[in-house]
Chains A and B, each alone.
Chain A
Amino acid sequence: MGRYVLKRLIQAALVVVSVTVVVFVVTRLIGDPVAVMLPLEATDENRAVLEAQLGLDRPILVQLGDYMADAVRFDFGDSLWQRRPAIDIVMERLPPTMVLVLSGFVLGLLLGAVIGVVAAIRPGRWMDRLFVLLGVLGISLPQFWIGLVLIVFFSVGLGWFPTSGSGSLRHLVLPAVVLALPILGRIALVTRSSMIDELNTPHVKDATARGLSRARIVVAHAFRGAGIATITVAGWELVGALAGGAVVVETVYAWPGIGFTAMQAIERHDIILLQGVVLVIAVIVVTINILVDVTYTLLDPRVKFD
Chain B
Amino acid sequence: MTGDRPLLEIRSLEVVFPTPGGTVRAVREVSLSVNPGESVGIVGESGSGKSTIARAALGLIELPGRIVGGEVLWRGRSLSDEKIARRYRGRQISLVSQDPMASLNPIRTIGVQMTEVMARHLKLGKQQARRRAGDLLEKVGIPEPGRRLDQYPFELSGGMQQRVVIAIALSCDPLMLIADEPTTALDVTTQAQILRLISSLQKELGLALMLITHDLGVVAGACDLLKVLYAGEIVESGTADALFHHPRHPYTAALLGATPRLDGTTERLRIINGQPPDLRSVDIGCSFSPRCPNSTSYCESEHPVLEPDSRGGMFACWHPQNHLDARSVPREG
Contacts and interface: CB of A to CB of B under 8 A. Distances in A.
Interface of A: 201-213, 216, 220-221, 224-225, 299-302
A207 B86 CA distance: 11
- Point out which of B95, B102, B107, B117 has the most chain A C-beta atoms below 10 A from its C-beta: B107
28 contacts: A201-B102, A203-B104, A204-B105, A205-B62, A206-B102, A206-B104, A208-B60, A209-B58, A209-B90, A209-B97, A210-B120, A211-B87, A211-B90, A211-B117, A211-B120, A212-B90, A212-B117, A216-B116, A220-B108, A220-B116, A221-B108, A225-B107, A300-B107, A301-B107, A301-B154, A302-B106, A302-B152, A302-B154
B107 A299 contact: yes
B86 A203 contact: no
A230 to B, nearest CB: 14
B107 A302 contact: yes
Nearest to B117: A210
B120 A203 contact: no
Interface residues of B, number: 29
Contacts of A299: 107
A28 B320 CA distance: 93
Nearest to B82: A214
Nearest to A200: B62
Interface in B70-125: 86-91, 94-95, 97, 99, 102-108, 116-117, 120-121
A224 B90 CA distance: 22
Interface in B46-71: 58, 60, 62
B168 interface: yes
A203 B152 CA distance: 14
Interface string B294-309: 0000000000000000
Contacts of A209: 58, 60, 89-90, 94-95, 97
Contact of A225 (B88, B102, B105, B152): B105
Interface of B: 58, 60, 62, 86-91, 94-95, 97, 99, 102-108, 116-117, 120-121, 152, 154, 165, 168-169
Nearest to B99: A202
A186 to B, nearest CB: 23
Contacts of B89: 208-211
A202 B121 CA distance: 21
Contacts of B102: 201-203, 206
Contact of B105 (A208, A211, A213, A221): A221
A302 B108 CA distance: 10
Nearest to B98: A202
